[in-house]
Amino acid sequence: MFILTSLPRSILIPFFFAETTILAPATSDNITVLRSSFPKGFIFGTATAAYQYEGAAKECGKGPSIWDVFTHIPGHIIDNSTGDVAVDQYHRMEEDVWLLKDLNMDAYRFSIAWARILPSGRGRVNWPGVMYYNRLIDYLLLQNIVPFVTLYHWDLPEALEESIGGWLNSEIVEIYGEFAQLCFQLFGDRVKHWITFNEIHSFAGGGYFSGKNAPGRCSAPYGNCTQGNSLTEPYIVAHNALNAHALAVNIYKTQFQDEQKGLIGITVDSPWYEPLTDSSQDREAAQFGIEDFIGWFLDPIFFGDYPASMRASLGNRLPHFTAKQSAAIKGSYDFIGLNHYSSEFATRNDSDGSIVITPYKNGVLIGPKTSSDWLFVVPSGMRKILGWIRERYNNPIIYITENGVDEANSEDLLPLNEQLHDLQRIQYHRDYMQNMLLAMRDGSDVRGYFAWSLLDNFEWDSGYSVRFGIYYVDYKNKQTRYPKSSASWFQHILKRRGFVGS
């Protein structure tokens, strides 16, 4: 049982990072997962991130990001690996787009590496970097694959970290706005779906609470870092990122949307929390857990301020929006992206009132454990978390921007054919999709589903120790791609033949 008795009340929920996996039970509802089971126009795709995929860390004028620096410090990554090469998508882009096409996918979610097009974070444009993204976008469209572009997926230019302190400095809001505006100008004639941020919760927590992610700031006893303040910095970072989101949305809506006809939103992440018991205290603990993950970011976007529960527990450590900032952030979305993987139990510690998060109830796991210590397979959590968003925020348009499961990297233990036999991934996606369909029958306005991930890749502080891909990547043999069993499954369920309106 994971007891967080000494943390500040609104950071009692552990911060989870990228993606992770295992065998899931089938749902009791007999729902067939096929393209024809979904409404006309529903989008299927896979999700990726620049640092996890591109490689080419020092090529063609790219500047270093905080992750380029962080991963080269021994001990930060579990296997001491880096994303210098990653899966080398920078040089294999056309091949990977064909893999998408072969899966019958409709869309591809990727991020733009800020330092690839602005090596110093602002100012001089690196045109070879721009050309790469132009090639990627154009090739996706040539193959009838819709680009979903994330502007910020954790890889801040190192120059901004060194010069102004990165996300801790409110100056970053205007600088991010300049970056977003440039991307809209360069790519918005073809990109019609923009995501301002991926998981502010994760990079604020991982980077500034535990120090497990770049830029590696924290304070004792919450992590082992040389600098930082775990009690205050995550909230400052998140506050600046939310204001940056609002600015980017305003720039897009006032300067570009009428002509470019695109949409813009933000991606949040959260597990689902079940009350450990039916007591009012445990129900409140579970509610607080969800508010601390999703409400932290969506309450300002829908209501103009942070959840009252966070205000009460954090006091002045939670920054305040000015009246102008509140007005700017309220309503700053066309859609919401949701990354959901796992569920746990929540309960209240009677001795000190802290929240306890645990995967166990009476010694039994909430669901099968995966290779990652934070991911438990509980498909019903998908339906429940979509219902929570529907009720709290009056049913906004939702895209599931990440969902997936991993297996341990066993390249030295198992023959390749056994590593490709990923039946647990097939069952995971099927069961979570079934619960997504149930949520849609309940009334949730879900428009798309993006699997994490197309390929095995660099999984942040887990390095290459876990594999989330539908395609296997042989890191010891020039990043060669091999289809796993799940690739055949996606090919089958996403066939367009017989789909009304296809």
**Residues belonging to the active site:** 199, 402
Angle at 299 between CA 337 and CA 351, to 5 degrees: 110
Going from the C-alpha of 80 to that of each of 1, 71, 413, the distances in angstroms are 29, 7, 20
The DSSP line for 6-47 is SS-GGG-SPP--S------PPPSS----SGGGS-TT-EEEEE
Q: Coil, strand or helix: which one is 261?
A: coil
Among residues 133, 224, 206, 136, the alpha carbon closest in space to that of 462 is found at 206
How many CA atoms lie less than 13 Å away from 237 in the CB half-sphere? 29
Q: Where are the alpha helices (DSSP H) in 55-88?
A: 66-70
Q: Which residues contact residue 235 at a Cβ distance below 8 angstroms, ignoring those fewer than 6 apart?
A: 204, 314, 317, 318, 319
Interhelix angle 200-208/233-255, rounded to 10 degrees, is: 150
**Partners of 195 in beta bridges:** 150, 265
Per the listing, tokens 């770049």 go with 214
- Taking the C-alpha atoms of residue 249 and residue 329, their distance in angstroms, rounded to an integer, is 9
The DSSP line for 291-305 is IIIIIHHHHHHHHSS
Residues 326-331: contacts with CB within 8 Å, 24+ apart?
Answer: 326/300, 328/243, 328/246, 328/247, 328/250, 329/242, 329/243, 329/245, 329/246, 329/300, 329/301, 329/304, 330/300, 330/301, 330/302, 330/303, 330/304, 331/301, 331/302
H or E element, residue 425? helix 423-442
Please, what is the end-to-end C-alpha distance for the chain in angstroms? 49
The number of beta carbons lying within 10 Å of the beta carbon of residue 253 is 14
Q: Which residues contact residue 315 at a Cβ distance below 8 angstroms, ignoring those fewer than 6 apart?
A: none
H or E element, residue 308? helix 308-314
Kindly report whether the peptide bond that precedes residue 215 is cis, defined as omega within 30 degrees of 0.
yes
Q: Where are the alpha helices (DSSP H) in 22-168?
A: 50-53, 66-70, 89-102, 114-117, 127-142, 158-164
- Taking the C-alpha atoms of residue 344 and residue 73, their distance in angstroms, rounded to an integer, is 33
Angle at 411 between CA 407 and CA 415, to 5 degrees: 105
How many CA atoms lie less than 13 Å away from 296 in the CB half-sphere? 34
